[in-house]
Chains A and B, each alone.
Chain A
């Protein structure tokens, strides 16, 4: 009896001992954490931008970066779950009819996938698009590579890749460009960069592949360390030439080492603003250009800055349109994802909050605070992103986001209705006009041109209203980045679309054509689900459908 007590005592004491020593080690670890800083022990350079190589010096940051591989966060409107946006909101297929976005458009995944998503989207698939109503599509230009690869800096400046882009410089390499003109060897970089813009997308990626191989460390590598950090001292820098070119035209100053001159706070916006913008490809060399010259320095962006810019480019023929809408034949500008522009008018921006503050909040890593390199929606960690400034509970903060986004969604659906109505009426008007002898006797091309001329002002209304719908729809915050500017934009969209109908009536009057104008438009059927690797292009989830249904019925707080 007494023996077993001894044994039991021993076992318990030993277990206690194990626990104690474990605790001891844990304490020692925590103490050690407060003393060490990560040291930079491996050399890193722009010739080898592989995140695995740079990450050896920065394990905490690499950890975060690699988490992006498996992040599929679902939020009411955004997140990183790559559901099909055109299946969820099929009105978009009518607006983009005649353009690749009407065929395949999913939410993008994280930065880890920025190259892979671009390689896989059907918008970059010539054969697919040619057989799906876009016979003239010749493939995406190299200009699209700009924001989808981690090798951009290497392409225009490294000893390994630059040489592959220097033969037969294109004409636009003679133009002044703020980014290159302050660099040593800037002319060579400019020649490589403009060349890359002008050749086909897959040709550029093949060259990257020939030097660095395929796979996630080679040509499939998305946005990574070198895109925002200088290898010498890891200071923030901008590597996208188009951003600096546009900023210099607005009155900002280029910088040889950091791309642009800016305080640390400004750089924490600029690194994101180098890609998250509205852009287009100008001229036959497809030079990536940001339409920012009407957006004055240090001012909040207004949607009219785009009208003014694109009207001017239309008038001088430098960039008339992205595509022609198949139904109305209007010359349409496709808005991309103008986060940089829209955020500039938000209350958060005006209070000095940067992109990084919310999308890469500080995270504790041992005793150190580290910027989280798992770049996500702030929804992913409300505590870290929002509560640093807002002491309210997480639920209260989520409700505030919903308050803004629900209103945005409700009005955006109204805007879609008005724009669909305008498009339907222009389509009817075109058909009616085509029956008149003065048009019917022309050959098809001349007839379409004559009708477009007769309906000139209505087609312009379509273009102008659609720019607004597209900003509100494609910008990646569903209203949150700047609620008031978004409401201004959506209300203008609704107004311009309705005005477009009365303009159409006036334009039809001389021909004695009367049509019944549409009030409630019919939403087109959702396109079929495409064959992608799951979860890309997946169907909207039940939660999303519920959100949309509630918004439709004004059933939200």
Chain B
């Protein structure tokens, strides 16, 4: 014997379908899959990053390192993905609701991550400087615009 169709359940299903479909559509037009990658295009998706992206493209680092190679901690799978999600959601939030300053500034956490990445890649010839007198130097203090101009 067939169970009678629960109309409410059906309505729920339809609604859920709409929501789910809308979600998939939104995810696609927002290039959601791109956000899962390490491609610089993902960051440049928000056009407040256009200037940074353009200057990175013209600089030396663009042939070897993209945004996440410097801005996210490497060699630590867990830290990499949690920070990627954290930054992505935070940037997405401010881009959506507004309130970005005209000139961006790295947060202290990012500053440290970038610095560590400088030291990792350039360790062959930077190891003296980075452990100079036992205190780590701040690469970015002098090399401010080596990755891209600072806005």
Query: B47-79 interface mask toward A, CB cutoff 8 Å, 1 = contact, 0 = none?
Result: 110100000000000000000000000000000
Which residues A125-143 have CB closer than 8 A to chain B?
none
A23 on interface, CB distance cutoff 8 Å? yes
In the bound complex, do residue A23 and residue B15 qualify as a contact, i.e. CB atoms below 8 Å apart?
A: no
Q: Which residues of B contact A393 (CB under 8 A)?
A: 105
Nearest-neighbour CB distance to chain A for B89, whole angstroms, equals 13
The A interface, classified by DSSP as helix, strand, loop or mixed, is: helix
Query: Chain A: which residue is nearest B26 at the CB level?
Result: A24
Known: A13-B19, A17-B18, A34-B47. A28 touches B29 (CB 8 A): yes
In the bound complex, do residue A27 and residue B30 qualify as a contact, i.e. CB atoms below 8 Å apart?
A: yes
Given the complex of chains A and B, what is the CA–CA distance between A10 and B9 in angstroms? Answer: 9
Query: Chain B: which residue is nearest A385 at the CB level?
Result: B102
Known: A17-B22, A30-B47, A388-B151. A362 touches B102 (CB 8 A): yes
In the bound complex, do residue B96 and residue A383 qualify as a contact, i.e. CB atoms below 8 Å apart?
A: no
Nearest-neighbour CB distance to chain B for A391, whole angstroms, equals 5
In the bound complex, do residue B102 and residue A383 qualify as a contact, i.e. CB atoms below 8 Å apart?
A: yes
Among B15, B48, B144, the residue within 8 A (CB) of A13 is B15
Nearest-neighbour CB distance to chain A for B97, whole angstroms, equals 9
Nearest-neighbour CB distance to chain A for B25, whole angstroms, equals 7
Known: A27-B29, A363-B102. A10 touches B47 (CB 8 A): no
Query: B130-151 interface mask toward A, CB cutoff 8 Å, 1 = contact, 0 = none?
Result: 0000000000000010000011
Q: Which residues of A contact B102 (CB under 8 A)?
A: 361-364, 381, 383-384, 387-388
The B interface, classified by DSSP as helix, strand, loop or mixed, is: helix
B12 on interface, CB distance cutoff 8 Å? yes
Given the complex of chains A and B, what is the CA–CA distance between A364 and B101 in angstroms? Answer: 9
Query: Chain A: which residue is nearest B11 at the CB level?
Result: A10
Query: Chain B: which residue is nearest A363 at the CB level?
Result: B102
In the bound complex, do residue B8 and residue A3 qualify as a contact, i.e. CB atoms below 8 Å apart?
A: yes
Among B16, B18, B25, the residue within 8 A (CB) of A24 is B25
Given the complex of chains A and B, what is the CA–CA distance between A383 and B11 in angstroms? Answer: 51
B4 on interface, CB distance cutoff 8 Å? no
Q: Which residues of B contact A363 (CB under 8 A)?
A: 102
Of the A-B pairs whose beta carbons lie under 8 Å apart in the complex, a sample of 15, sorted by A's number, is A3-B8, A10-B11, A13-B16, A20-B22, A23-B96, A24-B22, A24-B26, A31-B29, A364-B102, A384-B101, A387-B101, A387-B151, A391-B105, A391-B144, A391-B150
B interface residues, Cβ below 8 angstroms from A: 6, 8-9, 11-12, 15-16, 18-19, 22-23, 25-26, 29-30, 46-48, 50, 95-96, 100-103, 105, 144, 150-151
Task: Report the 3 A-B pairs with minimum CB-CB distance, sorted nearest first.
Answer: A387-B103, A384-B102, A17-B19
| 6 extra A-B contacts, CB within 8 A, seeds A30-B46, A367-B50 | A9-B16, A13-B19, A17-B22, A20-B22, A23-B30, A362-B102
